[in-house]
Amino acid sequence: MKNEKTALKENQGVSKPGTTSKSAAEKIKKNRVKQNSVDEFVSRILDGDITFLSRAITLVESTNNKHQQKANEILERCLPFANKSIRIGITGVPGVGKSTFIEAFGKYLTSKKSKVAVLAVDPSSTINKGSILGDKTRMDQLVTDQNAFIRPSPSGKSLGGVAQKTRESIILCEAAGFNTIIIETVGVGQSETVVHSMVDFFLLLKLAGAGDELQGIKRGIIEMADAIVINKADGENKQNAQIAKVEFNRALHLYPLKESKWQPKVLTASAINNIGISEIDQMISDYIIQTKENTYFDFKRNQQNEFWLLSTIEQQLKNNFYNNSKIKDRLSIEVSNLKKGKTTPFNAAKRLLNL
Ligand code: GDP
């Protein structure tokens, strides 16, 4: 495996600055994408070739129809080899320590011979062009670990579109032999809900406050969380973290038992000092054992597949509708009539849908 490490750096969207100009890199990428057959992609991905994994994800993320078609063929062929990982969602406000935690946790897992892929769903990536995981100073140790693969959030016009691409990338990563998939997201809009719909275990990172832990936290997130980890439990914060732990534990017990029959846990950690990391890994293993035994694990994955089938249909129908030239022309006329008070939104919608 000559250059897995080098290839890793070159192909994780985290290439060395100044080595190739952006447009030249794009051209090279495009040519490579053209040259390789679906067969080649599939066999290289199944061999764990990170360069091909990266290129396949680029196809998945492309808006070009031909690329998408190729991506779909690769995905279908990889599907029988997917599904063999544990998918973990991690959320928390900016600054809570997500990337520090993922780096510590990821390194811990790779030290145990696991292969870890880190993907992201960042709905803001289109607006501000930046994205979580896009910054190469983050996770600098994990980035050079040959058993880790880090991919920034795809950009897209809608959260659904961004999430769909990440979900497809999970399949490719699994086929390439990654057995732990971490999906990072920030608590913006509905992003936690979509990430929850693609993972087995959902972990919420929190900071200890001044005793008002439950304030400002969305009820829905608490309901989704399989664990709350209070990070930065170090230095002066240690005691506050313990208090927060007790408070969250008490609050979690007030919620009805989850369908998984798993009682969500509250743990403390200091990601920066690697404290609490092995306990979190153990807790996730316990969850997997319990939910595999009571069959919830497979039930949830099936449910998620159904959800993604339906949401992909919705997405496609919407795309077809808005990309239809007749609709495009007529839509502006209807909007203008609406503004002049000549029609109602419902009548206008009816006419457009009947075109
Ligand atoms: P993110 O925005 O959620 O990804 O947060 P980062 O991982 O970038 O961390 C934000 C800041 O918190 C950085 O300055 C980290 O060094 C710091 N930080 C992260 N984890 C810990 C921790 O466990 N303890 C302490 N004291 N600081 C931490």
* 284 and 333 together in one domain: no
Nearest CA to ligand 1 atom 27: 232
Residue 310 lies in a domain: no
How, if at all, do strands 116-121 and 227-231 pair? unpaired
* 297 and 336 together in one domain: no
Domain final residue pick, 36, 59, 77: 77
Mean pLDDT, residues 60-68 taken together = 88
Q: Using CA atoms, how far apart are residues 197 and 200, in angstroms rounded to an integer?
A: 8
Nearest CA to ligand 1 atom 10: 95
Sign of CA dihedral 233, 238, 241, 245: positive
* 69 and 91 together in one domain: no
* 127 and 204 together in one domain: yes
Nearest CA to ligand 1 atom 5: 97
Determine the distance separating the centroid of ligand 1 and the alpha carbon of 161, expressed in angstroms. Answer: 29
**For residue 29, is pLDDT > 90?**
no
Q: Among 100, 102, 203, 232, say which to mutate for ligand 1: greatest number of ligand atoms within 8 Å of CB.
A: 100
Pull the structure tokens for residue 167. 């979900």
Q: What is the pLDDT of residues 98-112, one digit of tens each?
A: 999 999 999 999 999
Q: Using CA atoms, how far apart are residues 320 and 258, in angstroms rounded to an integer?
A: 38
Residue 114 lies in a domain: yes
Least confident of 12-26, 77-91, 163-177, 262-276: 12-26
Query: 185 CB under 6 A from ligand 1?
Result: no
Written as one string, the DSSP assignment of 209-247 is: -SS-TTTT--HHHHHH-SEEEEE--STTHHHHHHHHHHH
* 61 and 113 together in one domain: no
Contact assessment for residue 201 and residue 284, using Cβ atoms and an 8 Å cutoff: yes
Confidence at 137, pLDDT banded by 50, 70, 90: low
* 173 and 133 together in one domain: yes
H or E stretch at 87: strand 86-91
Determine the distance separating the centroid of ligand 1 and the alpha carbon of 101, expressed in angstroms. Answer: 8
Q: Is residue 188 exposed (0-12), middle (13-18) or buried (19+ Cβ within 10 Å)?
A: middle
Domain final residue pick, 37, 56, 77: 77
Determine the distance separating the centroid of ligand 1 and the alpha carbon of 255, expressed in angstroms. Answer: 30
What does the longest C-alpha to C-alpha distance in the chain come to? 69
Query: 93 CB under 6 A from ligand 1?
Result: no
Residue 219 lies in a domain: yes
Determine the distance separating the centroid of ligand 1 and the alpha carbon of 97, expressed in angstroms. Answer: 4
Q: Among 93, 204, 272, say which to mutate for ligand 1: greatest number of ligand atoms within 8 Å of CB.
A: 272
Question: Count of domains in the chain?
Answer: 3
Q: Is residue 61 exposed (0-12), middle (13-18) or buried (19+ Cβ within 10 Å)?
A: buried
* 350 and 253 together in one domain: no
Q: Using CA atoms, how far apart are residues 303 and 293, in angstroms rounded to an integer?
A: 17
Residue 313 lies in a domain: no
φ and ψ of 307, to 5 deg: -55, -45
Pull the structure tokens for residue 344. 């109602």
* 255 and 167 together in one domain: yes
Q: Which atom of ligand 1 is nearest to the CA of 275?
A: 23
Residue 314 lies in a domain: no
- Which amino acid belongs to residue 51? T
Residue 104 lies in a domain: yes
Sign of CA dihedral 279, 283, 284, 288: positive
CA proximity to 314, closest of 306, 303, 324: 306
Give this prediction's pTM: 0.83
Give the three-class secondary structure for 25: helix
Domain with 277, as residue range(s), is: 82-304
**DSSP H helix total and E strand total for the chain:** 16, 7
CA proximity to 92, closest of 248, 208, 206: 206
φ and ψ of 218, to 5 deg: -70, 130
Q: Using CA atoms, how far apart are residues 171 and 84, in angstroms rounded to an integer?
A: 10
* 172 and 68 together in one domain: no
Q: Which atom of ligand 1 is nearest to the CA of 205?
A: 3
Can you give the CATH number for the domain in which 139 is found?
A: 3.40.50.300
Pull the structure tokens for residue 262. 């798993």
What average pLDDT does the structure give for the chain?
A: 85
H or E stretch at 69: helix 65-78
Query: 234 CB under 6 A from ligand 1?
Result: yes
Residue 309 lies in a domain: no
Give the three-class secondary structure for 76: helix
* 211 and 276 together in one domain: yes
* 109 and 194 together in one domain: yes
**For residue 3, is pLDDT > 50?**
no
* 256 and 119 together in one domain: yes
Residue 111 lies in a domain: yes
Q: What is the pLDDT of residues 253-308, one digit of tens each?
A: 888 889 999 999 999 999 999 999 999 999 999 999 999 999 999 999 999 999 98
Query: 92 CB under 6 A from ligand 1?
Result: yes
